[in-house]
């Protein structure tokens, strides 16, 4: 057996192990975000001025921030906020993107040109710039934040769905199903979805990671959510002046972002859509 063949045989187990690690890491983060409020009755807004930037202790397992707030409670809320907003944004982008992509490939002609032109219009603006413009117009709005991210993400779902659907719809299997009288629902379920699902799930994982990074970046420049909301990027901004006095405290939100994005990247198996 040559080296190329050995590498080919070794690759799938490595990718499978990476995905399992990613799923386990993401599950651990979700468990931490969901179970911490049930097991630890910490108040994210309560300020303890006698324990400002305190080291981890029995009273504060993860220490406190510059206002004496419980970092364990705030970190769990921030992770839950970022993951929840990423999930909502991905779903909001995926549903219209996939449906419009199938419609464009199915109808073709003028419908395809109009929808393609709409997608190109969104691609003409840099994604982060579009998010910044919308969030700047509606500062502090949760709906504006996730809507802006969804407007950036839907184009990828549309373009990939349209390209794959064109190939599948032109296949003999689809033609045979149409001749036998099967309707659009059957064709989508039987022929399109099996081909689309793996690619769309990969895009969703990358989209969730991009959403988390975008939310953190907006919080870091103080354009996203407003204090006293617990959000990872905003927490980094607030704690940055105190990195020398309490490096562990500022490392916590940074590590939360890193581990969340890493878990999503591992789930995709390192493949770009």
pLDDT at 11: 43
- CA–CA separation, 15 vs 222, rounded Å? 38
- CA–CA separation, 13 vs 25, rounded Å? 18
pLDDT at 1: 38
pLDDT at 34: 92
Residue ranges in the chain whose pLDDT is less than 70: 1-15, 140, 222, 224, 269-273
pLDDT at 14: 57
Helix residue ranges per DSSP H, 108-180: 109-124, 127-137, 142-169, 172-179
Phi-psi category of residue 68: left, alpha or beta, with phi > 0 → left and psi -120 to 50 → alpha: left
Classified as helix, coil or strand, 64 is strand
Give the right CATH number for 3-27+74-267 from 1.10.3720.10, 3.20.10.10, 1.25.40.80, 3.30.1300.10.
Answer: 1.10.3720.10
- CA–CA separation, 106 vs 164, rounded Å? 11
Closest CA to 214 of 137, 150, 168: 150
SS3 content of the chain, % helix, strand, coil (to 5): 75, 0, 25
pLDDT at 254: 92
Phi, psi of 56 (to 5 degrees): -55, 135
Give the torsion through C-alpha atoms of 90, 91, 95, 101, to 10 deg. Answer: 10
- The two structure tokens encoding residue 128: 């982060």
- CA–CA separation, 92 vs 138, rounded Å? 19
Contact 83, 29 (CB under 8 A): yes
Tokens 């419908």 correspond to 111
pTM above 0.85, yes or no: no
Q: Domain limits of the chain? A: 3-27+74-267
Closest CA to 24 of 209, 254, 266, 268: 266
Residues near 213 by beta carbon (within 8 Å), at least 6 away in sequence: 257, 261
Classified as helix, coil or strand, 70 is strand
């Amino acid at each position: 057996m040559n080296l190329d063949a050995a590498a080919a045989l070794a690759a799938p187990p490595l990718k499978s192990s990476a995905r399992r690690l990613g799923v386990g890491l993401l599950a651990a983060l979700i468990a931490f975000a969901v179970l911490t409020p049930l097991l630890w009755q910490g108040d994210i807004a309560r300020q303890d001025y006698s324990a400002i930037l305190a080291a981890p202790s029995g009273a504060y397992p993860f220490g406190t921030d510059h206002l004496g707030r419980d970092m364990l409670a705030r970190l769990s809320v921030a992770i839950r906020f970022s993951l929840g907003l990423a999930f909502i944004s991905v779903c909001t982008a995926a549903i219209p993107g996939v449906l419009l992509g199938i419609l464009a490939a199915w109808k073709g002609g003028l419908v395809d040109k109009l929808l393609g032109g709409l997608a190109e219009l969104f691609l003409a603006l840099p994604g982060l710039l579009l998010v910044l413009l919308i969030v700047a117009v509606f500062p502090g709005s949760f709906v504006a934040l996730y809507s802006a991210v969804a407007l950036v993400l839907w184009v990828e779902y549309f373009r990939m769905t349209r390209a794959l659907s064109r190939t599948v719809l032109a296949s003999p299997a689809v033609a045979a199903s149409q001749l036998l009288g099967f309707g659009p629902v059957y064709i989508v379920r039987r022929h399109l979805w099996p081909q689309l699902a793996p690619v769309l799930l990969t895009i969703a994982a990358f989209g969730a990671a991009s959403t988390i990074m975008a939310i953190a970046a907006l919080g870091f420049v103080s354009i996203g959510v407003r204090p006293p909301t617990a959000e990872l990027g905003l927490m980094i901004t607030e704690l940055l002046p105190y990195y020398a006095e309490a490096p562990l405290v500022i490392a916590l939100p940074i590590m939360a972002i890193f581990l969340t994005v890493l878990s999503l990247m591992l789930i995709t198996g390192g493949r770009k859509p």
